[in-house]
Structure 1
Amino acid sequence: MSLFAELKRRKVFKVAAGYLVVAWLVIQVGATVAPQLGLPDWAPRLITLIVLLGLPVAVVIAWLTELTPEGLRLERAPKGNKRVFFVAALLVAAGVGWFVHALSGDVGLTGSKARLGAASTAVLPFLNLSSRPEDEYFSDGLSETLLHQLAQVPKLKVAARTSSFSFRGKQDDVRRIGELLGVATVVEGSVQRSGEMVRITAQLVRTDDGSELWSRSYDRRLADLFAIQDEIASEVAKALVGEVLPDEHAKAVQGGTRDVAAYDAYAHGLQQIAIDSFASLDAAERAMLQALARDPNYLDAMVGLVRVEMLMTQTGKIPKRTARLRARPWLARIEQIDPGNAQLLGVRAELAEEAGEFDVSRRLLAQAIERAPNDTWLRTTQARRHLYDMEFESALASAEAVLSLDPLNGSLYFLKTSALLWLGRIDEAEASARRGWQLQPQNPNAASAMAGVAAFRNDLAAYVHWNLVAHRIDPDDHEIIAEMVPALQDLGEPAAADAWLRVSQRLAPGNLFAESSRVVVENARGNAQAAYDGAFALIPRAAEERRWNWTIAMGAGCLAAVELGRSAQMRQALVHAGVLAPRYDVASFRALVPNGTPINAQVRRLSMLAPCLAEPQDWNARRAELLATVTALKGPAWMRKPSNARFVAFLQPDREALVREELGARYTEQVGREARQRWLGIADDPRIVARNAELRRMHRAQHAGLPAMLARDRLALMPAGDATARSR
């Protein structure tokens, strides 16, 4: 008789099949009950091991025994015994090997191909299983707090909130999530809140095969929420990097509160910060203040409130001075509680920069990033700093570094796009901007990035279109619409330009963007006196500058001053304000740009204010003096950088270089184009004449296509309710 027939006769197959069914049920019950009983993490695995070891035992017993009318009788088979025992031994060895391997806590993570390495994770938004859908903010707050705690562990790479939360409500496979975020694991779970009780489940899952590394369920009182968060973070960190040092653990859990109502308000605030609109920032500020009213020592809420004030400044909602005054008492409290707090150091760096202490600012920001290398706000601040300083290679590197932690954050592509644009890599910049728009079509920054690409391509119609899209997303932002006003004027739509200026002024009376655009528009219309007067009035507001709006307005004002023969008065006022220097030798230039101010940013400003630097008879001598100073301070390598070519051309008495740079000027550099060309003495060059004619034809064609472009997206050229719009 064959071995197969003998196995069948002895009912080994039936016994094995029946055993597996029962074993599966036992394993499922064990996995469910063990966490409820508070058993250790390895308990479900031990149950599985015992059940698996029972299979070869059952097979051997079925092989060796036979059920007869007289009862169970031992009956050794004439052949096949060795093979059956060998297979049983293999099953035992495989089960024990699996248990030892699983118990190691690594389960193959060392071989992970995740972009951020084996010790990397993403905290996905926990599912809200409460009866009220509006409680989602609470589950989000728990997820974000957990993410923040894990990000404090230096050896652990944690994907940023924006990217991990982009998977909310989606049924993406963990393998795809791991690939998109570059992480080896994900933390996922659910929250069910009912009265004073909360049920939380959490699990750590490998992204390469979807296997579970750790899981736990909690049924506790709501007051125990903070202990649960601490336990989850500790267990996840332990599974990924081993034991967490006591000081690392202390830093991770520092900053929380035991007041559930305070935490509730804080979670509301985090939800509003993520929206990042003018209205949501107001709501976030109120929520953080409510949390601090409940718990005045709630460190995370203090940091959250300061973040809100900084975001309000960055979006132009409030002036920097207002943000400083609001933040000052909370910064003092944070310093009392945690002097080395990374967010505190980052804000101190921002304030030092505004005070002109640039070296101090860089040092503080570097310390902050060293303390919290996973903090995307700090790394984004660093990228933005490099961009404003016109250190475009560094800005691109910083943007890509923060994108490695937050690859699905559409607004970060705005920074990357800007750096690529100024480096002249426009096709790459457009791809970056489109990726940002694809990821976050409801983010005004993503639309602004698309507008930036259009400006560098000299496509004014597309520039206006994307600014109107951004305005529709965030109708309270006064800067977006003020920035597009000069483009409307150049397209031949002066009524629309005036109408949108009125809207900007209504949203934020006296805002610098609207006042600056008014100067540029008046200069473009040939109203030299109005441009001069407007620019002169803005001189004391240099410290309010954002995105070069003040400098661009001053450039238009200086051109108007030359035309009016009043450049000496404008120059004297700018020197008195500390914007220009009486001379430009090394000592005078260093006095103008103290404490490590990036020289390339200052040279850009001076190149735009060039008509105010000297009278015509003194211009060549002043330019030579400035060229020698910049060369001495920055060296020949800086002078050869393509991104600095335009500034170098204005410093050198090289007509060919001036013409070449003017021919390739982007729209962002064309303010007062023809007036500037007359001042430079190149307006009569045939190539310049031909280029200007080409731009005028291009703008007319763009203007003709603008109505259809706006109609496709249901956008209006004139603001709703404008009296001029009704008359048209």
Structure 2
Amino acid sequence: MGTRLEFGPFRLDADEGILFHGAEPTPLGKRAVLLLALLVQRAGAPVSKDDLIEAAWSGQAIEDSNLTVQIAAVRRTLADISGEPRWIETLPRRGYRYVGPAVATPGPDRASAASGIPPLALPDRPSIAVLPFANLSDDAEQDYFADGMVDDIITGLSRINWLFVIARNSTFTYKGRAVDVKQVGHELGVRYVLEGSVRKTGTMVRITGQLIDTATGVHVWAERYDRRLEDFFALQDDIALSVVGAIAPSLRRAEINRVKRKRPDSLDAYDLVLRAQPDVDSGMPKQIAQALVLLERAIALEPDYALAHGNAAMCHHCLFLRAGLQEINRSASIRHARSAITHGQDDALALTLAGFSIGMDGHDRSAAFTALGAALAISPSSALTYILGSVMLAWGGDADRAIEWSERGIRLSPLDSWAFAAFDAQAMGHFHRGRYEEACRAAYRSVQANPRHSITYVQLTAALVKLGRLQEARAAAAQVLELHPAFRYSRQFQGVNCAPALALSLGEALRIAGLPE
């Protein structure tokens, strides 16, 4: 194990058994430091109680309560000094996991720390991750502007069939963090990383970008652009084209031109959609309502804006499933989805969101997968297309394809904020095939990824019943009702057009666990 680790405001010297805050040692004892060292070294990964006990009490037989006391001391020290409460997560019956800031090791070989995540094999084609661009403007509220720049570069690059592009939901987990590009390449399984900055002042914008080979650290390409703000969209194309040219100089011009896509006429409408996107992605009714206000303003400004309609469809879908299965939300979801498909034939994200709403709320899976197929033709690296498609396949009873699509989505975006949906689809797929242990594992991964998503607890409850673990199943069922008090499984299955055989099997298990029909 590396003897020195840095994370947040702390530095840990495992050999000396000391945790430092800046230059000052903290009062944490040596045994607690050994536990923290193991957790931090395996950052993001579960660490079993047995491994922790062995690290701090090597060869000794001790009670679990000793471990609990030491972990509590670690949490208290980290929280009291930093002011941040969330550092170590308890995994019931499994152990603990470090969930704090990124971990680094001093010295040149920082990639070896790699946050405990095993390296991913490089794809058999050029692969790239576009990191969030730093906002160097005086106004911190302009973060959305820089994020929008990166979104459009990712979208443009994703239109190239030969290029493997990591989705923005994974790359944006690095926002606000000082990262080593070798470590990023290790964690995301890519050969190239694009990083840069945006400085917006008045009517001018300066954008810098650099493309780095993660294996060698060598700069493959670097450029600076100074443009008037009205040239913003052309500027995005210039950067995407330059990156593509740096990776494959012999690429034919016709292929490079595929990076370009149609833009909304109104920058105001574009800004509104950028501002709404985080709330749309949250899936939480209160935030969804906030997003809809912005999206409706964008549509009023630009009635044919496909991505605004696609996001509005997703908002109404979430409200339909999580706010009472109201017909007004279902019909609005379908209406906006149809507008997104009509106006978004060159927009993979709009087609993906629209296809999902048409399939889930309109119960027309044929039309849904036509839209998803068009999205993948435009953007073969669209992780969200595979993830949302896997959910529809799972509810439709196509277990094998659901698992295949979910795995492809996760590979394209290993750290995706929508990963919970992919794991949920895997849980349903394994359940439908009678593989209840696998279903249980996938459901637990989904719950860990998004503990506020009530539907995943439904899959977990059913799998636990099939395994005969009724006490745990009833606890999971209680979580369903806590998060979704109006939940009735027959109405929910009808709402998502669940395959009859799957609905029957799930329903029998949920009834045993005490969930209302």
Partner of 1:668: 510
- Residue 208 in structure 1 maps to residue 106 in structure 2: no
Deviations 1:347-385 (A, max 9, x none): 357536766655555555444434432222321232112
Per-residue deviation, 1:150:
1.4
Per-residue deviation, 1:392:
2.0
> Structure 1 residues 355 and 228, CA, compared in 2 at 3 Å: closer, same or farther?
closer
Per-residue deviation, 1:159:
1.0
In 2, are the aligned partners of 1:265 and 1:290 still within 8 Å (CA)?
A: yes
**Structure 2 residue matching 1:203: 3-state secondary structure:** strand
Per-residue deviation, 1:181:
1.6
Specify every segment of 5 or more residues in structure 1 that has no aligned partner in the other structure, as ranges.
1-111, 471-478, 484-500, 505-512, 518-537, 549-600, 610-664, 674-728
> Structure 1 residues 433 and 671, CA, compared in 2 at 3 Å: closer, same or farther?
closer
TM-score, normalised via structure 1 length: 0.47
Of Structure 1 and Structure 2, which has the larger fraction of its residues in helix? 1
In 2, are the aligned partners of 1:117 and 1:183 still within 8 Å (CA)?
A: no
In 2, are the aligned partners of 1:152 and 1:372 still within 8 Å (CA)?
A: yes
- Residue 369 in structure 1 maps to residue 376 in structure 2: yes
Correspondence list, 1:190-589, <5 A: 190-242=197-249, 252-257=259-264, 259-313=266-320, 315=322, 319=326, 322-325=329-332, 327-328=334-335, 331-332=338-339, 335-336=342-343, 338=345, 343-344=350-351, 347-348=354-355, 351=358, 358-359=365-366, 361-409=368-416, 410-411=419-420, 412-433=422-443, 435-436=445-446, 454-459=464-469, 462-463=472-473, 480-481=481-482, 501=485, 504=486, 513=487, 516=488, 544-546=494-496
Q: Which amino acid aligns with 2:423?
A: Y
Q: Which amino acid aligns with 1:545?
A: G
In 1, are the aligned partners of 2:307 and 2:350 still within 8 Å (CA)?
A: no
> Structure 1 residues 672 and 190, CA, compared in 2 at 3 Å: closer, same or farther?
closer
In 1, are the aligned partners of 2:133 and 2:146 still within 8 Å (CA)?
A: yes
In 2, are the aligned partners of 1:292 and 1:301 still within 8 Å (CA)?
A: yes
CA distance in 2: counterparts of 1:280 and 1:119, whole angstroms: 37
> Structure 1 residues 348 and 300, CA, compared in 2 at 3 Å: closer, same or farther?
closer
Q: Which amino acid aligns with 2:200?
A: R
% same residue: 24
Partner of 2:151: 144
Deviations 1:243-278 (A, max 9, x none): 666665565432423543333212101222233321
**Structure 2 residue matching 1:253: 3-state secondary structure:** coil
CA distance in 2: counterparts of 1:445 and 1:131, whole angstroms: 42
Partner of 1:128: 135
In 1, are the aligned partners of 2:133 and 2:147 still within 8 Å (CA)?
A: yes
In 2, are the aligned partners of 1:202 and 1:217 still within 8 Å (CA)?
A: yes
In 2, are the aligned partners of 1:416 and 1:432 still within 8 Å (CA)?
A: yes
**Structure 1 residue matching 2:209: 3-state secondary structure:** strand
CA distance in 1: counterparts of 2:454 and 2:513, whole angstroms: 24
Which segment drifts farther, 322-331 or 199-208? 322-331
Per-residue deviation, 1:206:
1.6
In 1, are the aligned partners of 2:394 and 2:426 still within 8 Å (CA)?
A: no
Per-residue deviation, 1:400:
0.7
CA distance in 2: counterparts of 1:337 and 1:393, whole angstroms: 30
**Structure 2 residue matching 1:131: 3-state secondary structure:** coil
- Aligned-residue CA RMSD in angstroms? 4.0
- Residue 602 in structure 1 maps to residue 500 in structure 2: yes
> Structure 1 residues 202 and 318, CA, compared in 2 at 3 Å: closer, same or farther?
farther
Partner of 1:157: 164
In 1, are the aligned partners of 2:461 and 2:477 still within 8 Å (CA)?
A: yes
Q: Which amino acid aligns with 1:418?
A: M
Per-residue deviation, 1:672:
8.2
In 1, are the aligned partners of 2:307 and 2:344 still within 8 Å (CA)?
A: no
Per-residue deviation, 1:236:
1.2
Q: Which amino acid aligns with 1:602?
A: P
CA distance in 2: counterparts of 1:362 and 1:348, whole angstroms: 7
> Structure 1 residues 135 and 383, CA, compared in 2 at 3 Å: closer, same or farther?
same
> Structure 1 residues 222 and 365, CA, compared in 2 at 3 Å: closer, same or farther?
closer
In 2, are the aligned partners of 1:288 and 1:304 still within 8 Å (CA)?
A: yes
- The structure with the larger Rg is 1
Q: Which amino acid aligns with 2:512?
A: Q
Q: Which amino acid aligns with 2:146?
A: S
CA distance in 1: counterparts of 2:464 and 2:350, whole angstroms: 35
Q: Count residues with an aligned counterpart.
A: 394
> Structure 1 residues 282 and 250, CA, compared in 2 at 3 Å: closer, same or farther?
farther
> Structure 1 residues 129 and 545, CA, compared in 2 at 3 Å: closer, same or farther?
same
Per-residue deviation, 1:160:
1.3
CA distance in 2: counterparts of 1:363 and 1:258, whole angstroms: 27
TM-score, normalised via structure 2 length: 0.64
CA distance in 2: counterparts of 1:201 and 1:242, whole angstroms: 20
CA distance in 1: counterparts of 2:143 and 2:347, whole angstroms: 33
